[in-house]
Structure 1
Amino acid sequence: MRLSGEKLKSVRMQKNWSQEVLATASGLSLRTIQRIEKTGNASNESYLSLLAALDVPLSSITAQSTEVEANWSGEMIMKALAAVLLVKLIVVGMMVMNARFIDFINIPNVLFVVLFTLAMTLLSYDLDRLWAAMKGIRYIFTQDIIGGQAARQLAQTYQSQIQFCYGAGAIVFLIGCIAITQVASNQIDGFDKGAIAGFSVNLLPLLYATMISEGLLRPLKIKLLAADEADLQEQS
């Protein structure tokens, strides 16, 4: 969490305190007070000392973050990678147990779901929100996230993308159902093996939409909302 130098200066002036008085009350040096008011950078110890000296809530001197702040460590990244690999192994294992793995691969359908989701994000918001959502995928590799308005906004974007993903899957599924029905209606014997195979391929977009939504976007949304909730609790 980052301190706001402007807010600190405003609170100090409301009390009619000089920087020297605040330095004495907080036990910090005058140079430290000057640096904090100028840059907003303060250690946790300085933070607590200022809060105690000024006797104000945390939110009164906390900067309103315009970006999601996160810290990455080797341990966090390895844990996230292990979790991702475990999920992939489970999913691939289920595929292999039930059919050939190649039967689950359809590049055009993957591209449609992804591109439809990105296009709808751009249409619903703007290029900045789309770019933020794409960059935000990296947060899947950390647990140390500081929330705020930016986190809430990004979580909202991911929630919309979840809906867009399922929407893309539903569109392709319905188009495929109509096509299969039209083909079958022109055949005397009704559905044949080709129609059945076509119907199985028709389910793949829904599978891709579910994997992207539940395996990536929803965990990101939950992380960001949890970080935002923790941030609000700290400020209260």
Structure 2
Amino acid sequence: MDISAEKLKQLRLERGLSQDLLAKQSGLSLRTIQRLEQAGGGSPESLLALSASLNVSPQALRHSSVPTISHWSFAQRSVQLSALLLLLALLLALVSLASHGQFSIYLDLVSLLFLLLFVPGVTLVAAGPMGLIMSIINLSLLWQHATGSLAERRFLQQLYQLQYRLCYGSALVLSLLGLVSVFYHSPHLSTASLQGALGVLCLGWLYAACAAELLLRPVLFKLNVSIQAEQHTLAN
């Protein structure tokens, strides 16, 4: 836990306790007390033992604010920048196609609706209405930092991992259904129609990749970074 070295030392001195006496009262070793007063940190058990010995709340021994994790900042910005560049490249490509009258080749209403209904539908069945609502609201993590308790962030992590797989799962299901239909009608289709039908089946994978890689992967990255950082703090 994030025990403040300064607060621990101040509270100990205010109560007239030596490091050795505080160690005996809390059940911690003298070396642990010395380390905590020098560098802070500590485990949840140490925090609870010290707060009980000093007769204060655990929060009184913690830092006033959560410190920024500077060694992750570059990686976070890199992912945000990469996602932004990919999105801009996609938009520019679509604008270019639209200017030449070819925008319609990237539009397939059936594939898009299937993706938009399949992912939320399975999420609703798996995580319930609140899980679906949380997954929609917390897409704001695209431009915000991950907050909330560790349990909440782990739940969101599992939720977005499920949706990430569902995006590609929806493309797979749509492709299989489409292939069955294409093979069933293939004797009556011309070569051009057959090629067009197979091309439409690829659009499901394009929509799935856009949703998974441009929306869910950056959010998952932020959650993973936040969870790993807190677990590292708890371990120390």
Q: TM-score range by the shorter chain?
A: 0.5 to 0.7
Give the residue type in structure 1 aligned to 2:42: P
Distance 1:147 1:90, change over 3 A: farther
Partner of residue 44, structure 2: 59
Equivalent residue of 2:233, what SS?
helix
Gaps in structure 2 of 5+ consecutive residues: 17-35, 48-57, 60-65, 69-76
Is the Cα–Cα contact under 8 Å of residues 151 and 228 in structure 1 kept in the other structure? yes
Equivalent positions of 1:85-164 (< 5 A) are: 85-94=84-93, 96=96, 100-143=102-145, 145=147, 148-164=150-166
Measured in 2, the distance between the counterparts of 1:170 and 1:108 equals 14
Partner of residue 230, structure 1: 229
Measured in 2, the distance between the counterparts of 1:226 and 1:205 equals 30
Distance 1:144 1:155, change over 3 A: closer
Is the Cα–Cα contact under 8 Å of residues 113 and 168 in structure 1 kept in the other structure? yes
**Number of residue pairs matched by the alignment:** 181
1:2 is displaced (CA, Å) by 9.5
Per-residue CA deviation, residues 167-202 of structure 1 (Å, 9 max, x unaligned), is 1111111111111111112x3xx6421121111111
- The counterpart of 2:14, out of the listed 4, 7, 24, is 24
Partner of residue 175, structure 1: 177
Equivalent residue of 1:142, what SS?
coil
Measured in 1, the distance between the counterparts of 2:207 and 2:41 equals 50
Distance 1:195 1:220, change over 3 A: same
Given the two structures, how large is their TM-score scaled by the length of structure 1? 0.63
Gaps in structure 1 of 5+ consecutive residues: 4-11, 13-20, 27-50, 64-68, 72-77
1:102 is displaced (CA, Å) by 2.2
Distance 1:86 1:56, change over 3 A: closer
1:213 is displaced (CA, Å) by 0.9
Percent identity over the alignment is 21
Partner of residue 199, structure 2: 200
1:159 is displaced (CA, Å) by 0.7
Distance 1:217 1:133, change over 3 A: same
Equivalent residue of 2:166, what SS?
helix
**Aligned-residue CA RMSD (Å):** 3.7
Partner of residue 186, structure 2: 184
Given the two structures, how large is their TM-score scaled by the length of structure 2? 0.63
1:142 is displaced (CA, Å) by 2.5
